[in-house]
Structure formats: structure tokens, C-alpha cells
Structure 1
Amino acid sequence: MPVPEALRALAGRSSFWSEWFFTGDEPTDRPALLVTLPVAGGYRLLLDLDFAQPYHLLELAAPGFGAHEGTMLGWDAPDDGRPHVLRWSELDLIGRVIAMDDPSLPHPGLVVALLSRFAPVTLADDVPVVRALFTAAFRALRPAPLEAGPEQEPIPFFAEPRWWPMPVDPEALTDREIERLLVGRDGRRAGLDWHHHEGAGWVATQRAERNELGFPIRSMRDGTEHAFPFAGLAELLKSARSRLTTEIYGAPWCTTTAVVPLARRMVHAGDLSAVPSLLEALETAGCDHPAVLDALTEPLVPAEAAWVIEEIAGATPGTLLREVCAGTPADVESARVD
């Protein structure tokens, strides 16, 4: 299993994310964890998490590399680091393709939450889409609600639900805490941006005139680090897009006359009201892909349903997500940078 069970258990706890983003008071003696995320084409992302130092490392493992062998993409520590690694559109793509192969890692969810450590919000990003992905990812990690109600049949006077309020899990992430985490990821006031370089592809840049905070750029992907695996990352992303397109848009059940036109109408309308009709059309066409069917089955998670519908429709990622997740409470407009 690529994600340790210990990490899955911790992911619903707000205290864990304080440690992950270095917003807690002190380092902990929590055991180190290694997370392996198979992406596509034999490429993997490796996360080495050391909470005692604390120090977090992100690596790229190409086909043929050993289980724990990778090339450094970036790292982070309280006093130093190069955590600006991924564009948000790339993180979205990675989360989608991983979810296709591993239904236990739905998107947006744990993958986005973890890798957002290495994906600052920049001047180049579609902020409403980033906000929707980030908020949905952390909401998805909340533990199941605690059971409420009497242990035995109460007398009629006390049978009403108002007498048995739902217990509040003190470790569950609140929307306010999610908002605070997102604001801490915002690099726009530091002028962080992306620029497409003909040789290297997308490189991390900084616009001096927008750097209100006077912070330096912290990235191995800025074009000055010869060790950064530009070609390897490009191949990972290319493989991810190819696999995702083949798995959904190229699937036999996606070529029927009903499925794609219906998905495209939903993207154009910007709502999810036709999800039951789309689910019925998919089942009639023989779709048995668990990630697709789960995303469109009640209880519906709008962000999860949106990306699946976008892929079926062949739409630009974020087109539907932006509409169905509008107004999510996490706001990065009054942003700062950690």
C-alpha cells in the first residue's frame, strides 16, 4: 500500500496538519514516514516525512529506480527549504490520475493535501479553482461523524433529535482552520509566478514589482538548479495526461452517443443537477470503473464529481469545478506567505 495506514489515521487530525505545515509549537517525536505515490508510466513521487527534525522531502522516481530511490524535486524545513515545486494544474492532474488507479485515494483528498506543501498559490494560478481543490481535499479528510443518540430507547419526551446533538470531534479540521492553511500557502504577495521556458518547460519565477514582502523565491525549479529533473517531471505529467485520457475519454463506455454530450451540457451549464442521468447513461453503456461511478454516486462530493465530468466531456480542467464549488469559505485574498 503506497500510503502507510499510520498516515491515513493521522490525516483527519488538525494537529497533524499543524505539524505538516510547521505551524505547531514544537517538533514531535512522531516516527518518520515514507509515502510512495505511483502516478503513471512507471513514474512515482516519494515523500519522506521526518517530524522530529522536522524535514520533508519530495522526490521523483523514474521507471527502473529502486523502491526508495529518487531525484530531489524539493524539500522543506522551518529555517530553509525549496518547497515551490508544482503548479496547481499539475497537482490537480496528479491527483486525478492517482484516484483513477486507487479508489482509496479519491480526488481531491489526501494526495492534494500532502502535495500542497510543495505547491504555492502563485500569480499564474486560477485562484477559485485552487481554493475549491484545497478546501475539498481537507474536508474529505475529516473523520466520520461521531455517533449521536441514546444507547436505548428514550421516553417519548426525549425522543426528538434536538435532545441528542451530534458530538463534535475536537481534532476534526474546521473550515476556519482549512482557510488558515490555505492562506499560508499563498505566494502572490511575494510575487511568485510561473514562466514557460523553451528548453526547461515551466520554471518558477518571481516578479520583483509584485514582491511586497521582500521574500526570496525558494525553488529548485527556477532554472538555476542543474540538478532539477525537468525532463523527468515533464515525462511524468505527459504520462499522467495520456493515461487519464485513455482511461476515461478513450474508454468504450465513453464513446456512446449519450454519455459525452450529456457531460458537455453539464459543463456548459455549470451545475450537477443532471448527475443521476449521467450515471444512468454510464451504467447503461457498461461503465464499471469504480472511481468514475463512486464520484457520481450519492452522497455527492461536488469537487470529485466535477473533475470526472470534465474528463468525460474532454473539458479544460477546472471549468466545471469553478462553478459548482463557487463560494467555498476558504479565502486566500488576504494572503501571506509562510
Structure 2
Amino acid sequence: MPLPSDLQSRLDDPAFWGAYFFEADDDADDSGEDDEPGPIIVEFEVGGGYALVLDIDGCFDMVDLGLRVPGESELLEIGWDDQAHWHPDSLRWAELDLIARAAAVLDPTLAHPGAVLALTGRFVVLDAHDDVEAIGPVMDAAFGPPAPGAAWWPTADRWLSKADGRRDGIVWQRDENGDWAVDQADSAATGRDLHSVRRPGSKFPFAAWRALLAAAESTVAQAGADR
């Protein structure tokens, strides 16, 4: 599904990115009216009726991350980011990279690396198994070069300062079902606490998530076979 036009038109605007990452006041039109702008819903389809969904508050106070399952009207919430009770540590880097590749196959307007990584990367948390030297240039390419005169612009280094859990005891673990969950060895001794609904033994929708990743893998594999 293409990006909503009201979002696509803002991707070159430093004010949007500053608001989106809570680095500045929101860039909504200051018209003096009481009505708040509506949310921006972004769906990244990966195949088989599965999609990763961003629900961006119109005032940029919160970003929700959801999972769309075929045949279900309600989204499964798998993370959220705000400035009060945030739980953004939801995704492994390899998972988001796969999702972005699948989304680009189904919608060529979603070039990879690009908007999928730039918008959804805030929900990634890295551990010691991630190759930061390889990931950094991909994220820089996703954000693109700064707009002329930009006071603030997202970069791989800025993203990494929040996503990097390697020195904070954060570890992704895989169980006997093949499900990945994230945990932290000793949060009291670290500078970055883990905030995630995807902990071992949690109510995270692991089966639905496995199905989404399988759909994404199938989409990417079929695209490679068709070349």
C-alpha cells in the first residue's frame, strides 16, 4: 500500500522528522482551530494479507506499531512509542529489513532502503549479534541526505544512540518454537532500560508474528525466483 499522500509530502521536511522523533514541537498547521489533526495510518503489506501498521498520532505525541492479520478487523498491538510509558523495543533488525524488502516487492514506490526503515526503525533494538557497521549505512540511506538548512535530521548515529542495546545487557533469545523474544540481564546496572511487550513468556502474538515473517520471506523469495 503506498504511503498516504499527506505523509509522503512531508518526508523531505525537517520539521516533520523533528516532530516524529520527539525532537521538536509538532509541525501541524497552527490555524487556531480547536480540532486536532487526525492520525496518519501507514500499512506495509508483506503478502498473504499480513501487514505491519504504523498509527501516527496527528499531533505526533504517539506512534503505535500494529500487526494486521488476514481475516481480522482488529490490529494486534506489538509496540508503541511516546514520551510517557513507551514500549518501542519490538523488532529485530533482520525482521524489519525483511519486512522492508517484502514491502518494496509489493509496492515499488517503497524503495529499499527507504521509508519503511526510516519510519519503523524506531521500534528496533539491537543486541551483540547485530553488525552495526553494516546496518549504519543502510539506515543512513533510508533517512537520506539532510534537507538544505535542516536544523535537525535523522541519521544512523542518532538512531543508533536509541536502538543500540549491545552494552546494556539486552539480548534477543530464540525458544524451542522458533520465537524470538528480548530480555535484559540486569537493567539496574545499565544506562538503557528495555521497554518491550515482547519479553519471554509475554502475551506477544508470537504465532501471528511468525506467520507475518513467513509471508514476507515467501514474497521476497518469489521475487527472486521471478527474476
TM-score past 0.5 threshold: yes
Structure 1, residues 255-295: CA drift from partner, whole Å, max 9, x if none? xxxxxxxxxxxxxxxxxxxxxxxxxxxxxxxxxxxxxxxxx
The answer on 1:44 being equivalent to 2:51 is yes
Partner of 2:7: 7
Partner of 2:33: none
1:76 deviates by 1.1
Local SS of the residue matching 2:22: coil
Q: Choose from 133, 136, 141 the match for 2:138.
A: 133
Structure 1 residues 17 and 206: CA distance shift in structure 2, 3 A: same
Partner of 1:91: 96
Structure 1, residues 131-153: CA drift from partner, whole Å, max 9, x if none? 1221110117x66xxxxxxxxxx
Partner of 1:284: none
TM (normalized to structure 1)? 0.59
Equivalent positions of 1:287-326 (< 5 A) are none
Task: Work out the CA distance in 2 between the residues paired with 1:23 and 1:207.
Answer: 30
Contact 1:49/1:55 (<8 A) preserved: yes
Task: Work out the CA distance in 2 between the residues paired with 1:194 and 1:203.
Answer: 6
Q: Choose from 177, 180, 186 the match for 1:202.
A: 180
Local SS of the residue matching 1:106: coil
Of stretches 217-226 and 93-102 in structure 1, the one that deviates more from structure 2 is: 217-226
- Aligned residue pairs total 219
Kindly indicate which of the two structures has a greater share of residues assigned to helix: 1
Partner of 2:83: 78
Structure 2 counterpart of 1:202, one-letter code: W
Contact 2:172/2:183 (<8 A) preserved: yes
1:51 deviates by 4.5
The answer on 1:221 being equivalent to 2:198 is yes
Structure 2 counterpart of 1:79, one-letter code: A
Structure 1, unmatched stretches of 5+, are 144-168, 254-338
Task: Work out the CA distance in 1 between the residues paired with 2:80 and 2:139.
Answer: 20
Which one has the largest radius of gyration? 1
Structure 1 residues 23 and 173: CA distance shift in structure 2, 3 A: closer
Partner of 1:241: 217
Task: Work out the CA distance in 1 between the residues paired with 2:50 and 2:61.
Answer: 27
Structure 1, residues 161-210: CA drift from partner, whole Å, max 9, x if none? xxxxxxxx2239768x5532332332223222201111361001113289
The answer on 1:115 being equivalent to 2:120 is yes
Structure 1, residues 49-68: CA drift from partner, whole Å, max 9, x if none? 015261110110111123xx
1:99 deviates by 0.8
The answer on 1:61 being equivalent to 2:68 is yes
Partner of 2:34: none
Structure 2, unmatched stretches of 5+, are 30-36
Task: Work out the CA distance in 1 between the residues paired with 2:27 and 2:135.
Answer: 30
Contact 1:123/1:191 (<8 A) preserved: no
Task: Work out the CA distance in 1 between the residues paired with 2:63 and 2:212.
Answer: 21
C-alpha RMSD over aligned residues: 2.4
1:79 deviates by 1.7
Structure 2 counterpart of 1:95, one-letter code: A
State the identity %: 35
Partner of 2:150: 171
Structure 1 residues 94 and 210: CA distance shift in structure 2, 3 A: farther
Structure 1, residues 207-230: CA drift from partner, whole Å, max 9, x if none? 3289531x432111102422x110
TM (normalized to structure 2)? 0.86
Task: Work out the CA distance in 2 between the residues paired with 1:209 and 1:181.
Answer: 21
